[in-house]
A and B are shown apart, each in its own frame.
Chain A
Amino acid sequence: MDAISDSAFREEIYQEGSNDDPSLLTVILDLSPSGWYNIRDRITINELVKAVLVFLNAHLSLNNSNQVAFIASSLNGSKFLYPNPERDYDKTQISSNVEDVDSNTDSEPSFVNKGMYRQFRLVDEAVAEELNKYIHDISSNIDLKKQNATLSGALSMALCYTNRMLTLDQSITTTTASAINSTTNATMADSNNSSTTTTSTSITSMKSRILIISASDEDDVKYIPIMNSIFAAQKMKLSIDIVKLGHQDSSYLQQASDATNGIYLHIIDPRGIIQFLTTAFFIEPSIRQYIILPTNSNVNYRASCFITGKSVDLGYVCSVCLCIMSIIPETKMCPACRSEFDPRILAQLTQTPEVISKKKRKLDAKGIENGNGNGTGNTNGNGNFVTDRSVST
């Protein structure tokens, strides 16, 4: 069973081996305010974004055809910051073509250098500007009622985008830098006269991975959507890498990276984050099998209770629909499929150790009769343990 859940694509030996295949890197930045507030004395979003941009540029510079995408996720929903279909990349292209070095001194973020390589500049400018807008949006209409970050939504979007990039846009394989831009624009425009590009399902040798940067310490995510996303990623053979800032480990993110052969790192001191990004997270999934990664293999495979939403490690499971409960519901009915539970089995499960204590006394009495020793062995077990023994007999 591990083969399915854990090493699903460890078996996959990447025979092609050529590292020239383009690779798509999707970064999901979780911007939940409370998480970032908690670590405000360690790192700011600004510092982090700088580091991430360096990381993106590094990724782009590895291969001409490499792609990046950047998604910001917060309480108000997730948004693609790059690529952004509303943004016209041609405009910047033209302006930079005409006047290479200086000229347009618009409202550009300070850390984007004018003389930068165009491909870097496009990404960096887009991300920085859109991020500013996005943060403005968040701070202007903050909704206190919504508490859980929409990480599952961001993941779903990332997977959709990756899916399109992996299977549908075969034009990506053209390699010159200018060609990429024109083709990405072209596919957007081309899709007007539709489907010839989209229905072709030739699989390019594009590789992809997702990097999630999360500072949120809350563990009550939407369990099922996250799990669905993990399985989808598993099927698409893409790794989910996790940068976990903040104070606690997140067991669901751990599961995500573990199930997809990704890297999970809980970075306690994030000031040197650029170091982490450019070392551990820089390694392509195809060569990860050769490298001992600093990932944490102590994964807590806890599930989430359907009733209380808390994570459980010892729970009850309805045998019809497999929904997980941490407590036996008072209605004696499954909350998901409405089937009633067998009262006899319920009685067995709710059996209290008191029933056993009678038996124990009997045993003790026997023990005393026979001599000694037996009694002590029995009293060692806790209530549950003995209960189960009695059930099985």
Chain B
Amino acid sequence: MDDSDEEYVSQQPVGETESPASRLSSEDPEESDGVSRRTRSNAKRTQVSELKGANGYAWEDEYQRSWDIMKDNDNGQSLEMIIQSMIENRKKKIMKNPSTPFQRGIIRTLIVVIDGSLAMLEKDLRPTRFSMTLSLLQEFIVEFFDQNPISQLGIILMRNGIAQLVSEVSGSPQYHLDRLRQLKAKQHNKFEPKGEPSLQNSLEMARSLLKYNFGNSSNNTKNSKEVLIIFGSIFTSDPGDIHKTIDSLVKDDIRVKVIGLSAQVAICQELVNRTNNLARNIVSKNYGIIMNESHFKELLMDCVIPLPISEKEREQEAKSSKGVPLIRMGFPSKIQPTLTSSLNNSTFTIDFPQLSASDPTHGSENSKQINDIDGINIITNNTIGYQCPRCKSKVTNLPTVCPVCGLMLILSTHLARSYHHLIPLSPFKEVPVNSEYSSLHCFGCLLKFPSGISSETNKDSLDVLTSSRYRCRKCKNDFCIDCDVFVHEILHNCPGCENT
């Protein structure tokens, strides 16, 4: 506690503006505007939000109306300018995806620690910090499993001086979402924010959860272990020495990220820097303080992207020359819950109560889902069976370890979801403004391109105008900006290259 306060004082601004943002930017005197250093990690993103003019704290911001931002340019080109800048921003957003493949720890285990102390009842986020956090976390979980299909996640709540386990480490997003929903619903009793937070308790719990690693405690797999703390208070009350806990975190190679909801806390800074191998006083992107709701979301969503493998790990790898483990996995096939057996050319449908090794209640009444749609109850037996390719036992949930033969079972679609991280699509190049173009319409969506611009138009407008064509470097096909964005952000393969 004390420690954190000293740290805080020592980081007073070196004669800068009084803006609270500059507290952090003390190392960088030339950056004196309201753009906080905290957003430095998101420098590219702030380009986008610049348009909205929402750069400072939400409470410092003047009320902005979207039509006020539009500056008229006398020559009637204002709209075009704005559109232009929007296009540029979108382009820049794409560019943030690095197109060189580099090693990432794709198998991750992440423990999310939520602050459940009294400070979370503050109403600076609507409706309260706590419920805002929970709802953002739900989005986060969906996105996390979308991008990290074979990763696992667990949730801990810091409340009343102790750490409470909200959900066990598991790879099923639905489970976590259910638990979060419970947390939201039962706010009046067990999970209502209360008391003081204890970083040490929850970190110790996270550490013990992270030891248990894909079902085997042997720590040989190269999955990255991470902790994400959403911290609303500005203090922690611990039973022991938190620095020892930090030491053991470092030893276990657990990386901690913190998102602060109120102000910077020195112990968090130290925690983040030590576990991420950074110097003590560096402002790292792993410790973000939110400025407003959208910034909160941005920071949270930044944690979705798998981390690159750290230098230390790489060195270790090189030193020990132990290499990466190879995992044997099975790709089970989906099987129908009802089996059809044929006898003498006539088919009988027999509804076998197929028992699953991993889920004994499967097939019983509990597993039947009742969808209530327009007052009509439709009972669907929604359980899907998967068959282990090696021992032919049946499981209902994937990914899992086959309970019979110990083979790791996974859907191939889970793996394939992360392949676009491996083989990123190179960005398209904008075709320079010209009077004539070879392409008339977008290769992907058939949108007709604007025709060439005659060279007589003056230089000024030439800067503003674009050819609206973005060309793939490989297949030399032209795309419109929307397809460009779509291809790079969602589809991840170039329609042109696929057709050659």
Contacts and interface: CB of A to CB of B under 8 A. Distances in A.
A77 interface: yes
A322 B331 CA distance: 13
A159 interface: yes
A302 B333 contact: yes
Interface residues of B, number: 103
Given A4-B146, A156-B491, A193-B450, A301 B413 contact: yes
A227 B419 contact: yes
A370 interface: no
B172 A1 contact: yes
B418 A322 contact: yes
B173 A198 contact: no
Contacts of B105: 320
A153 B487 CA distance: 12
Interface string A256-268: 0011000000000
A292 to B, nearest CB: 10
Given A1-B173, A160-B486, A319-B107, A224 B493 contact: yes
A290 B413 contact: no
A163 interface: yes
B422 A195 contact: no
A321 B422 CA distance: 7
Nearest to B383: A2
Interface in A207-229: 222-225, 227-229
Contact of B324 (A164, A227, A303, A340): A340
A5 B390 contact: no
Given A224-B419, A227-B413, A153 B333 contact: no
B363 to A, nearest CB: 16
B490 interface: yes
14 contacts: A1-B149, A3-B172, A4-B146, A10-B382, A85-B446, A164-B447, A196-B79, A229-B491, A232-B491, A232-B492, A314-B329, A314-B389, A322-B418, A339-B324
A307 interface: no
A157 B324 contact: no
A1 B324 contact: no
Interface stretch (B186-194, B247-255, B399-407): B399-407
B412 A324 contact: yes
Interface stretch (B69-77, B196-204, B267-275, B475-483): B475-483
Contacts of A332: 323
Given A157-B444, A188-B448, A290-B378, A320 B413 contact: no
A199 B106 CA distance: 34
B494 interface: yes
Interface in A93-125: none
B210 interface: no
8 smallest CB-CB distances across A and B, nearest first, come from A160-B444, A153-B498, A303-B412, A153-B499, A227-B416, A156-B495, A164-B445, A340-B323
A319 B222 contact: yes
Interface stretch (A53-61, A276-284, A343-351): A343-351
B211 interface: no
B4 to A, nearest CB: 37
B331 A1 contact: no
Nearest to A7: B382
A192 B450 contact: yes
A89 interface: no
Given A156-B491, A334-B324, A385 B412 contact: no
Contact of A198 (B330, B391, B398, B481): B481
Nearest to B216: A392
Contact of A228 (B103, B221, B420): B420
A192 B373 CA distance: 46
B423 interface: yes
A303 B389 CA distance: 13
Given A7-B382, A157-B444, A195-B87, A313 B323 contact: no
Given A5-B414, A198-B480, A161 B444 contact: yes
Nearest to A195: B83
A334 B313 CA distance: 18
A328 interface: yes
Contact of A341 (B324, B390, B481): B324
A228 B492 contact: yes
Contacts of A298: 333-336
A318 interface: yes
Interface string B372-409: 01000010001010100111000011110000011100
A353 interface: no
B449 interface: yes
A172 to B, nearest CB: 13
Nearest to B400: A1
Contacts of B480: 198
Given A298-B336, A313-B330, A85 B448 contact: yes
B413 A255 contact: yes
Interface in A355-374: none
Contacts of B468: 194-195
B443 to A, nearest CB: 8
A3 B138 CA distance: 14
A78 interface: yes
